[in-house]
Structure 1
Amino acid sequence: MSDTVSFGYEDVAPEEKTARVRGVFSNVASKYDLMNDAMSGGLHRRWKDRFVRRVKPRKGEHILDMAGGTGDIAFRMVDSDAAITVADINPEMLAVGMERAAKRGLDGLVWTEANAETLQFPDRFFDAYTIAFGIRNVTDIPKALREAHRVLKRGGRFFCLEFSTTEWPGFGEVYDAYSHHLVPKLGQALAGDADSYRYLIESIRRFPDMPTFERMIGEAGFVQTKVEPLLGGLVAIHSGWKI
């Protein structure tokens, strides 16, 4: 790992990024889902539905939903009767998720504070590992991918939903203009926090493109890696298998 990592458009020390990302999500936790609707026009719901259809959770499986604090992915899998552990580095995000679960009468989920780079779970424990819109906020992404591989059983499935770079001509420019100019203003209006949402947009720009991230997944030990672009690659579902 290099001496510096990206925090939006800034390059900072790894320990500083970890602390600052934790602060961002502490600030936005209570408004996180509202802002997702505002920023994506509600499309994030369809992306997450499609993502879970790709995961195909099954009864009796053990699934780790990493960076899943508010419960959006876990709630979509809970009817499968899989044993789902929701993990997040941020306790405020977990608190929002647990409150939402209680309101829905969902008491079968396990909630735990965890760092994707140093998971406390044993080797070969989970049947599937999911992470949605979380991997770009990890300080050491290759290390987190290796940890995902470690905690999966042989035959285990890795799925990641993340923003990427659209390949549709013209669309990328329109989205860039929208996200850079309007999203921070939405963050200020709806969550009282423009800076955190400015970071979230900048972090998308600094995230590896689809071929690069697929290669990183392979380098972590996964095979049969695959990328499914959505909106031309604005968002992508990445997957791989552990054998």
Structure 2
Amino acid sequence: LELPGVELRGLHAHIGSQIFEPAGFELAAQKLITFLARLRADHGVELPELDLGGGHGIAYTEADTPRHPEDIAAALAATVKQACAEHELRVPRISIEPGRAIVGPAGVTLYRVGVQKDVQVDAPDGSTTSRRYVAVDGGMSDNARGVLYDADYSAVLASRRVTGEHALSRIVGKHCESGDIVVRNVYLPTATARDDLLAVPATGAYCHSLSSNYNYLTRPAVVAVADGASQVLIRRETEQDMLGRDTGFAAR
């Protein structure tokens, strides 16, 4: 409050990521509003803004059950209104940060299938079962969340429609690393073949933004698609992009 170059507007909190229920956000809001009341009592200021952060979960797999944004917003609004009334505070301007909830479901990554092989693995009951490994032309350089956070994704065969049996599969990348797993467990058609395209949904957040040139691989393009039309937003990297930074040795 005493710094001449700083205008204190409010408080901000971030309680985590991939949260499905509003209870945690409600508790955070209650604590922040209690702190707003303490600031008023101790310093005589009533701050006008409150940022309740982000972390709203999305469905990466069928097991994920995110709440509708309206449910979370309604619960937060009721909590803020009640807490402000209890502390006799004016309701501050509320901000939230639903970044992943907006851009995450909007993104789909397409991979081209390469080599496949079946491997016998141990099942939880002590028996053995067959798992098909499906190698694709991407991996941990375009989606680091698997190796960093053990994140789960799903996948579907996108280039053609097939019927028949499905096999337990693991989609792996091309980076020659044991952690280079795109989708840990998914049932794919046994008819999946080389050059088929696999679609991995919910990759709009924290995939391209975390992408790298791991093992000197180029990064893929980002393409917007709507109403049957497409537009390149970020072009694919080329080898020239990679090599263009090399300055070589100066003549002596």
Higher percent of residues as strand: 2
TM-score by length of 2: 0.22
Higher percent of residues as helix: 1
- Larger RCO, structures 1/2 (Cα 8 Å, 6+ apart): 1
Answer with 1 or 2: which has the greater Rg. 2
